Amino acid sequence: MLKIIGYDGEEIETMGPEEINNENYNVIWVDCYDPSDEELLQLSKNIGIEIEELKAGLDELEVPRVEEEDDYYLIVYKAPLFEEDITTTSFGIFIKDNIILTIHIDKINSLGKIYSLLKTKKPKTFLDRGKGFFLYSLLNQITISYSRIMLNLDDELDRLEEVLLKHQDQNITTEILQLRKTLVYFHKALVSNKDVLSILKRKYLPITTQDDREHIEDLYYDTLQLIDMETTYRELLVSTMDMGISLENIRMNQKMKILTMITALFALPVWITGIYGMNFKYMPLLNNPYGFWVIFGITIMSIMLVLYVFSIEKWIK
Amino acid sequence: MLKIIGYDGEEIETMGPEEINNENYNVIWVDCYDPSDEELLQLSKNIGIEIEELKAGLDELEVPRVEEEDDYYLIVYKAPLFEEDITTTSFGIFIKDNIILTIHIDKINSLGKIYSLLKTKKPKTFLDRGKGFFLYSLLNQITISYSRIMLNLDDELDRLEEVLLKHQDQNITTEILQLRKTLVYFHKALVSNKDVLSILKRKYLPITTQDDREHIEDLYYDTLQLIDMETTYRELLVSTMDMGISLENIRMNQKMKILTMITALFALPVWITGIYGMNFKYMPLLNNPYGFWVIFGITIMSIMLVLYVFSIEKWIK
Amino acid sequence: MLKIIGYDGEEIETMGPEEINNENYNVIWVDCYDPSDEELLQLSKNIGIEIEELKAGLDELEVPRVEEEDDYYLIVYKAPLFEEDITTTSFGIFIKDNIILTIHIDKINSLGKIYSLLKTKKPKTFLDRGKGFFLYSLLNQITISYSRIMLNLDDELDRLEEVLLKHQDQNITTEILQLRKTLVYFHKALVSNKDVLSILKRKYLPITTQDDREHIEDLYYDTLQLIDMETTYRELLVSTMDMGISLENIRMNQKMKILTMITALFALPVWITGIYGMNFKYMPLLNNPYGFWVIFGITIMSIMLVLYVFSIEKWIK
Amino acid sequence: MLKIIGYDGEEIETMGPEEINNENYNVIWVDCYDPSDEELLQLSKNIGIEIEELKAGLDELEVPRVEEEDDYYLIVYKAPLFEEDITTTSFGIFIKDNIILTIHIDKINSLGKIYSLLKTKKPKTFLDRGKGFFLYSLLNQITISYSRIMLNLDDELDRLEEVLLKHQDQNITTEILQLRKTLVYFHKALVSNKDVLSILKRKYLPITTQDDREHIEDLYYDTLQLIDMETTYRELLVSTMDMGISLENIRMNQKMKILTMITALFALPVWITGIYGMNFKYMPLLNNPYGFWVIFGITIMSIMLVLYVFSIEKWIK
Amino acid sequence: MLKIIGYDGEEIETMGPEEINNENYNVIWVDCYDPSDEELLQLSKNIGIEIEELKAGLDELEVPRVEEEDDYYLIVYKAPLFEEDITTTSFGIFIKDNIILTIHIDKINSLGKIYSLLKTKKPKTFLDRGKGFFLYSLLNQITISYSRIMLNLDDELDRLEEVLLKHQDQNITTEILQLRKTLVYFHKALVSNKDVLSILKRKYLPITTQDDREHIEDLYYDTLQLIDMETTYRELLVSTMDMGISLENIRMNQKMKILTMITALFALPVWITGIYGMNFKYMPLLNNPYGFWVIFGITIMSIMLVLYVFSIEKWIK
């Protein structure tokens, strides 16, 4: 799917793929999402970058990096991906002349957000300051997207902790697994993105102005902060999981305690009543009118004794 | 909330926000805690730092660092935060001319302590030696605050160990989680603070004198010591937790032993008495006057035998 | 086993070992798999590399590296090995004049694949661009082979997760062990291969052209990506295993709960019925026509009471 | 407590604190253990080092380091501390002119040992070679002290392993915790001490001769060896603990096996005898003279059957 | 014990300790195993190295290193030690003029092997190429000794895995502990040896020729390969242990399942038969000729019901 937007300093216009090379526009943004083979071919022809090169942006496992080619720049970057779990996906940003091409195989929410912001609100904010600033805006939206998820994770961790204190079941366990997965993917993505930003902020690339580089430096620090949060959450998650295991053990021990106590309490009484359930003709006390009460008393006393032992051993408080 | 204090070399005076730029004072300390939008606006106007910049001090997750701007310095630092758990929070110290501005979204006890010290006792000690020394005093109070918590942690660990030897329950488990959380946050905070101090002690900044830098070097070593303590406590906590798990296992095994022993002791006797509880007309020994005693003797012997096996196997000592 | 192929710029021909030094061919590929002593001797004589040297390619544990000798180059590389588990094996690539010799003790699928591609399809693609490109093609096939396994691992992990949510048994446990083994071997292999590629891409070796080195640089990034995937999968596997343990614990706890509940429910009723099974002549209620119902009611009530306690304690939902 | 010893090249004499500056002595050793405020004051005055500085030697958590001041040197070093557990403590060595001052808040056995050696045996060995050699002797005694404990740890580990093979209880668990604690403290202490020795051996300090520095280099290698031993023991301890956990699991499983077997063996027989314990007037076999034997035979056979199943399943060997 | 061998270019002769300095021999090998004090004294006198220095070779914990002294070289190296477990021991190689002295407190198999090779077979192979080559031969034998053990470990791991799939008991657990111990010692030994070889292969020492250094470089790569194997085995051992724990848990869960099922199956039937075992005069169905069959049918049905629930819950397959 292709979405093409051109900005001529005044207005934002939706364009067709054949107009990509129109030099009347200051900035042209081409967003190419899960393109068909024909779209790719057309795009390649119009923009003048080979299909093989474009495909680098469509591999969701590509390692983030900055590549300088003769007539264009390629930035591979990792964005959050909202599927069943929250993982990450790579996408490519090609910058050639006044064209910025984002190309991705997965749906990237941040790009959609920028698109709707451009269409409805303050497009000038994003586009008036040139393609370097637009690049910054793209990366910024993605960083914000990470932040938002990370703040949710914080609440999620608190909730998990509370739930674990009450009980543990299959759902909690799979939720913890989701969280861990997300953190594993985020760790790798953020560390790679940090390296990309570190290059963009230091290196003189003709696509960014000094101002843009300063903005990107801010993004760099934001990404450091995200990495810091992510490692903290990871450690807290490990602590929470350990707590969960420990609580499970405690609960197991309590059940074991109850089981052992019940078994201990009734073992002797049941046996004693069993003895007097035997059908021997001659058994002591059998015909004694108080026989029943004597034996009943003995069993009650044995129960009392066991209870006393348990209370001594602090099994009952 | 804004608290402003000016020191003219003689007296300490509480000032209004409009007096901030008064150059008659040697040192002016502005403490800005969870400011309203209006307060921020007013502060920004009076002090001449943009609101966006000031907000860096209000993000509790900001990464500690030293920033040199054209006409002011910003130090982001992490202080302990006393909420439900003990975690950490970032705050900003802006230094511009004779003004020291501390700005924070969370309550920071160390700042309150300095404030009350200034108001009641020896204000000269803090303010007579200039803003560099005052900066040192601020950071020092925070380091002391960490130390105090860390020494509590030591006792806490000893107490935990003792309690775990007696029993383990949900409360202990959540206490351990609190401790681990605190140590995770402290580790990140102390390592970042160390980096800030390392810059302040080495770099020539016009806000500190040679003397101040020597004091800050002491703080640097104190922070190293805190990091050392913190990693030690972290490892001891892991050891203690492992001990807790091991003890739980031992207790589980003991309960299992008791349960198995009781079950084993009474299995055969109960069955034997069950046999003689059957209502067949013809059963051996049924009418024998010693039948009861024979069977009773057999069950007692089987109990003895099982006890003997257990004592051989060292289950009973 | 020896397979020798010569390419004279037009045709591909299968050759005998005595023709190895034929200079009419642009590229000669000798594939030597698990050679007999005689084959080795013959090879050594024909190709002019000592047997001891050739044997470096036959040690499946050899550390990957690039060795420059006077008149030939040796590259030791690690390829996936498909046996019971998927592990890795080292093999040697000797390059001397126009001869490329691959020598290996284990079956390497990627080499077989290249062989069949050469025989059936587009041989020119591989051989027209010289021995440097052929070397690249070899290494590329191996990288593709790793990728393919890695993508399977991804599905495997998802499947494992699903299965673990249902149950855990010996088979799952051994499957997890297989996976871990594969990842351990792959980690070591990929990191070593990366070092080899890093040398090949940077160092000027007369066997590669600038173009070849650029291709090899792509392989280098692919290998980085594989390492990234591999560490991700390793961490996900650990998470999945932890989930498995946690679920086992939960299931154990549930069984314990059921066991404890059943024991608790019937302990008192069984004892009470035991009491009235005693054969004393005089027992209360014995001859009362409602005696049975009274006692039966008491036992049912005790069962109800226990159930009520369990529902209070949230054991039954 | 102050102990002062002077050596004039001939004799060792015990001195009073006021004589510290006596220049007739070649070496004066002042050992200051847990001093009162007055002692500190007096010491500070006599020796010419400020109380604040002296106190650096009294903080048991101080980070080991070498400090060069204008007219004296301070070495902070960590020694083993024998309290309930074996941990470590920091102490200070001040070297000024011909005075060596050791100052510590905790009892340090190695210092006591040197003291008694000086008083009774070969004092010349220690003092004839100057203060640099005496410093070396001090540090050497401490290193020997570490070695001795480490060799005990080795035996301790072997003993633990043997005990764990027999049983595991609370005492073993706390012993393991002690060991781990000691190793945590030793690791930090030895690594810091190594850094101190590394400075002392390399750096030209006027307090040591070339010979002394060579001796200190030996100490440096001894400390490396201690660190090597300590990390080995730490890993062996982890292995031993894992073995302990594994053995506990095995024992638990065995108890579970016994419990399950007993329960399985008697479940059916008890029920069958229960059936024939019912008081119905009409039950099959009830009046048959062989009824008892038929039913008894059936129960015995059911027991046999269960035993057979268990032997098939390898529960019984 | 002293064994001295001299090689004069023709023959190998066993010598007495007093002949050590005989310059007629090209190479003299002195092997000194666990020497008595007299032997040490004699050796020290004859060879001209101080006893204190010689003792460095007798400390089995000495850190491997190369030391250059004025008139001799000392190489400390670690060899496998075959005692109860397989661990490692340090020994010293002193090289002075034409004498090579190996000195060790523990029995080192590789030295014995070289000795017997020298006495019986191809002594020239070892000694004709000078002392540098003999040094290489010594180190080579030790490396081969490590390799051999490592290959055994591989089989051992496979065996462990198979056994664990069947059952786990105390013997397996102690075997795993042995393996882990061996790997811990090997890791430290191999890493240190690697450093020694790295010095020997790079540094120009007059005791080795260029050829010797090339041989030692091969040893260096062999040691790298051993380290690689060792870390792989260590990780596989951890995987295998985790599998063992997991399998134990699964077995525990199975036993628990059986126990719970048996308890659940017979709880109600036993109680019902207990009810009809009560001796009340008036009980429903008591005198009904089909009473027994009604109740018997009810208990059988309850058993069926429970079995059905278990099969629904997938406890029975």
Residues 20-49 on A with a CB inside 8 Å of C are none
Looking at the predicted structure, is the pLDDT value of residue D124 above 80? no
Rounded to whole angstroms, the Cα distance separating C28 from C100 reads 6
Q: Which residues of D touch E185 (CB under 8 A)?
A: 232
Put simply, whether E154 touches C (Cβ < 8 Å) is: no
**pLDDT at position B261:** 94
Q: Touching check for A285 and chain C: CB below 8 Å?
A: yes
Is D234 a residue whose pLDDT tops 80?
Answer: yes
3-class DSSP state of E26: coil
Cβ neighbours of C269 in A, within 8 Å: none
The answer to whether the beta carbons of residues D33 and D107 sit under 8 Å apart is: yes
pLDDT at residue C121 tops 70:
no
Average pLDDT of chain A, as a whole number = 89
Minimal-distance CA residue of chain A relative to B266: A267
d(CA C237, CA A308): 49
Q: What is the DSSP letter of E29?
A: E
Strand, helix or coil at A273?
helix
Does D267 contact B at CB distance below 8 Å? no
Half-sphere exposure of B298 (CA within 13 A, CB side): 14
| More confident site: D296 or B170 | D296
Does E122 score more than 70 pLDDT?
A: no
Q: Where are the alpha helices (DSSP H) in chain D?
A: 37-47, 51-54, 109-120, 123-127, 130-166, 170-202, 210-275, 291-312
- Interchain CB distance below 8 Å, C185 and E252: no
Residue B290: other Cβ atoms inside 10 A: 12
Is there a contact between C295 and E278 if contact means CB atoms under 8 Å apart? yes
Residue of chain E whose alpha carbon sits nearest to that of D265 = E262
Tokens standing for residue A41: 């071919």
Q: What is the pLDDT of residue D122?
A: 64
pLDDT band at D123 (very low <50, low <70, confident <90, very high): low
Do residues C230 and C223 lie in contact, with contact meaning Cβ atoms separated by under 8 Å?
no
What residues contact B125, with CB distance under 8 A and at least 6 apart? none
Nearest CA in chain B to A166: B170
What pLDDT was estimated at residue D92? Answer: 94
- Show residues of chain C in contact with A266, CB under 8 Å: 267-268, 270-271
Q: Tell me the per-residue pLDDT of C56-80, one tens digit each, with 9 for 90 and over.
A: 889 888 889 888 888 899 999 999 9
Q: What is the 3-state secondary structure (H, E, C) of B177-211?
A: HHHHHHHHHHHHHHHHHHHHHHHHHHCCCCCCCHH
The owner of tokens 């090899």 is C216
The crossing angle, in degrees rounded to 10, of helices D170-202 and D130-166 is 160
- Selection from B69, B74, B45 nearest residue B59 by Cα: B74
Q: Give residue B122's pLDDT.
A: 64
DSSP annotation of A96 reads E
The whole-angstrom separation of Cα A10 and Cα D20 is 88
CB within 8 Å of B130: residues ≥ 6 apart: B26, B27, B209, B212
In this complex, is the C-beta atom of A165 within 8 Å of any C-beta atom belonging to chain B?
yes
> Would the pLDDT of D21 be above 70?
yes
Mean pLDDT of E235-251: 91
How distant, in Å, are the alpha carbons of A43, A275, D85, D88, D113 from that of D107?
80, 68, 14, 11, 11
CB C225 within 8 A of CB A61: yes
Task: Return the number of other C-beta atoms located less than 10 Å from residue C117's C-beta.
Answer: 15
| Chain C partners within 8 Å of E249 (Cβ) | 245, 248-249, 252
- Say whether pLDDT at A53 is over 80: yes
This prediction has a pTM of 0.87
Q: What percent of chain B has pLDDT over 70?
A: 98
| Encoded tokens for C177 | 């062990």
Any long-range contacts for E314-317 (C-beta under 8 Å, 24+ apart)?
E314/C167, E315/E257, E315/E261, E316/E261
D90 to chain B: nearest residue by CA? B225
- Answer whether E63 touches C (CB < 8 Å): no
Distance CA C311, CA C137 (A): 68
Beta strands in chain B (DSSP E): 2-7, 12-14, 27-33, 65-68, 73-82, 86-96, 99-104
Note whether D281 contacts E296, CB cutoff 8 Å: no
Q: How many CB pairs under 8 A join C and E?
A: 124
Q: A165 touching C, CB under 8 A? A: no
State the Cα torsion C200-C201-C206-C212 to the nearest 10°. 110
At residue E166, the pLDDT reads: 85
What pLDDT, on the 0 to 100 scale, is given for residue C123?
65
Look up residue B256 and give its amino acid: M
Q: DSSP H helical segments within E109-129, as ranges?
A: 109-120, 123-127
Q: A239, B168: Cβ pair inside 8 Å?
A: no
**Backbone dihedral region of D308: left (phi > 0), alpha (psi from -120 to 50 degrees) or beta?**
alpha
pLDDT tens by residue, B253-272: 999 999 999 999 999 999 99
pLDDT at E75: 94
Give tens-digit pLDDT for E300-316. Answer: 999 999 999 999 988 88
pLDDT exceeds 80 at position D256: yes
Residues of E in contact with C279 (CB under 8 A): 279
Q: Tell me which residue in B180, B245, B283 faces A239 most closely, judged by beta carbons.
A: B180
Q: How confident is the model at residue C29 (pLDDT cuts 50, 70, 90)?
A: very high
Q: CA nearest D237 in E: which residue?
A: E181
Task: Give the end-to-end CA distance of chain A in Å, rounded to a whole number.
Answer: 69
Q: Which chains touch E (3 or more CB pairs under 8 A)?
A: C, D
| Touching chains, A (3+ CB pairs < 8 A) | B, C
Residue of D nearest to B244 (CA): D173
CA-based nearest residue in chain E for residue C277? E278
- Separation of alpha carbons C53 and C94, rounded Å: 10
For residue B147, what pLDDT band results from cuts at 50, 70 and 90?
Answer: very high
D242/E244 touch (CB, cutoff 8 Å), yes or no? no
Of C252, C273, C278, the CB nearest to E275: C273
Render pLDDT for A141-194 as a digit per residue (tens, 0 to 9): 999 999 999 989 988 999 999 999 888 888 888 899 999 999 999 999 999 999
Helix (H), strand (E) at residue C14:
strand C12-14
CB contact under 8 A, E184 and D232: yes
C-chain residues near E229 (CB < 8 A) = 61
Q: How confident is the model at residue B123 (pLDDT cuts 50, 70, 90)?
A: low
Contact E289 D277 (CB under 8 A): no
Domains and CATH numbers, chain D: 2-247 (3.30.460.20), 255-312 (1.20.58.340)
The number of C-beta contacts closer than 8 angstroms across B and D is: 125
Indicate the residue of B248, B286, B299 with minimum beta-carbon distance to A249.
Answer: B248
User: Could you tell me the pLDDT band of residue C85, with boundaries at 50, 70 and 90?
Assistant: confident
The string of DSSP codes covering C27-84 is: EEEEEEES--HHHHHHHHHHHT--HHHHGGGG-TTPPPEEEE-SS-EEEEEEEEEESS
Of A170, A185, A291, the CB nearest to C247: A170
CB contact under 8 A, E259 and D257: no
CB E98 within 8 A of CB E25: yes
Tokens linked to C289: 């026509």
Phi/psi at E96 (nearest 5 deg)?
A: -140, 125
* E258 chain-D contacts, CB cut-off 8 A: 260, 264
Q: Do A239 and B184 touch (CB under 8 A)?
A: yes
Enumerate the H helices of chain C as residue ranges.
37-47, 51-54, 109-120, 123-127, 130-166, 170-202, 210-275, 291-312
| Inter-CA distances, A156 with A150, A159, D189, Å | 10, 5, 40
The average pLDDT across B114-136 equals 81
Lowest mean pLDDT among A184-198, D16-30, D49-63, E212-226: D16-30
Residue D246 contacts B where some CB pair is shorter than 8 Å: no
| Structure confidence at residue A121 as a pLDDT band (50, 70, 90) | low
Judged by average pLDDT, the poorest of C15-29, D91-105, D268-282, E135-149 is C15-29
| A238/E157 Cα distance (integer angstroms) | 30
pLDDT at B121 over 70: no
Per the CB < 8 Å rule, is E270 touching C270?
Answer: yes
Contacts of C270 in chain A (CB under 8 A): 266, 270
Any C CB within 8 A of A119 CB: no
3-class secondary-structure state, position A98? coil
Phi, psi of B202 (to 5 degrees): -95, -40
Q: Which residues of B touch A231 (CB under 8 A)?
A: 188
| CB–CB contact D255 B256 (8 Å) | yes
Q: Is E225 on the interface with C (CB under 8 A)?
A: yes
* Helix-strand-coil split of chain E, %, nearest 5: 60, 15, 25
Q: Which parts of chain E are beta strand (E)?
A: 2-7, 12-14, 27-33, 65-68, 73-82, 86-96, 99-104
Which chains would you list as touching B if contact means 3+ CB atom pairs under 8 Å? A, D
E255 part of contact set with chain C, CB < 8 Å: no
Alpha-carbon gap: D21 to the closest alpha carbon of chain E (Å): 39
On chain A, the residues whose CB falls within 8 A of the CB of B169 are 250
Q: Output the average pLDDT for chain B.
A: 89
Mean pLDDT to the nearest integer, D23-48:
89
Cβ of residue C168 closer than 8 Å to a chain A Cβ: no
Number of cross-chain residue pairs from A and C with Cβ atoms under 8 Å apart: 125
Q: Does C235 touch chain A (CB under 8 A)?
A: yes
Residues C306 and A266 sit within 8 Å (Cβ to Cβ):
no
Question: Does the beta-carbon distance from C279 to A286 stay under 8 Å?
Answer: yes
Scanning B186-205 for CB atoms below 8 A from A yields 188
Half-sphere exposure of E223 (CA within 13 A, CB side): 28
Rounded mean pLDDT of A281-295?
88
For residue B181, the Cα-to-chain-centroid distance in whole angstroms is 6
- Cβ of B275 within 8 Å of Cβ of D291? The answer is no
